[in-house]
Amino acid sequence: MKLIALTDKGEIKKGKEKLESIIKDGAIEYERTIGYKGGSGRNRVFWRQDNDFWCAIENIDNRYWFVYGVADPSKSETQGLSITCEINIPKGGARRAISGVLAKDENNNVFLAHSGKIGGGKTGIGMNKFLNWYQEASRAKVAYPEGPEREMIIIGQIDSKEFTKKISNFIKKVNIFKINSSAENKEEDHAHSFRPEFIGIKEYYRPEDLVKARSYHGAVVGALADLLQQNDIEIANNREVDLYVVRRGEVKCLFEIKTDLTTSSVYSAIGQLKYHSSSLPKCDVLIALFPGLASNSTIKAFKDIGIYLYQYTLKNKKICFPDSQSILSAVDPSIIVY
């Protein structure tokens, strides 16, 4: 089963009308001023109160203009609305410069996809950075009648029950990304911050099937972050390091969290901790966490090379750290936990 981009004008128009109908169904209509690069204009907007987004739709040149935002139009009568993202659809042909596309599978189910190309006119906001940031996005290869296929973010099947919710999720992700990028541009390059990881179900649309994989990694990172912050320990993370401890501006401790106890995960934890700490002269505490108890030989190996090894457990959908006092003491020996 493959995803193939719709390029026939008739097919695209039919899909566009279906998409428009779904968005408008149950929406509250307003007339508002929408600001965009180079100007502004009055448009009808459709507010999906159930999913907290609005959409404006127009026919423009070679595309169907679908723009989205998150501000409540009922509270923006005089101020106007800002566009969070555009998911425009070409009226015909393979117009790759347009960010959105309708694509169908072998059963003629139609999906809305996006290239990841987002604007904003600000430094740090662009396609490559957004795609790297939005790791949990559902993606698939989309084939075209001519030219190479390309990987795109699959927002959802347009006639599915959860479709408007999936559009909302995508719009909110773009909004968070833009807010974070704007904030990062104002901070110094060396600033440390913590951003919670994705928690829940990741969907991958593959040529053969739809695979759902539950990701506990983000939940463990979040629970560990809560434990440390409750004890007034300053934490941060980035794309390379799951979690680290900062004291007086210096990185003092690195954490690496794994979701299984396989040999490859054990080797990976050692390698990542040693690699990332090699350029941090003030970092003298390395901690690896695994689900369940490791073997005696693994515990000894970690001790011999200077890495603390602790376990976490999942009980009633709650992440627990049986060795929480030991973890806190390793991070900061001055902490006394009662």
**Domains of the chain, earliest start first:** 3-186 (no CATH), 215-331 (3.40.1350.10)
Question: Between residues 218 and 295, which one has the greater pLDDT?
Answer: 295
Residue 126 pLDDT > 90, yes or no? no
Calculate mean pLDDT across residues 237-248.
85
pLDDT band at 254 (very low <50, low <70, confident <90, very high): very high
To the question of pTM greater than 0.85 for the whole model, the response is: no
Range of weakest confidence among 76-90, 161-175, 298-312:
76-90
Span 211-236, pLDDT tens digits = 333 457 888 888 898 888 888 888 88
Residue 41 · residue 33 · CB < 8 Å: yes
Calculate mean pLDDT across residues 242-254.
89
Provide the b/e sequence for 23-54 (b: ≥16 CB within 10 Å): beeebeebebebeeeeeeeebebbbbeebebb
Question: Counting every residue, how long is the chain?
Answer: 338
Provide the b/e sequence for 72-92 (b: ≥16 CB within 10 Å): ebeebeeeebbbbbbbbbbbe
Residue 112 · residue 19 · CB < 8 Å: yes
pLDDT band at 158 (very low <50, low <70, confident <90, very high): very high
Provide the pLDDT for residue 211: 38
Provide the pLDDT for residue 170: 95
Query: At which residue do the structure tokens 């690195």 appear?
Result: 254
Region class of 286: left (phi > 0), else alpha (psi between -120 and 50), else beta: beta
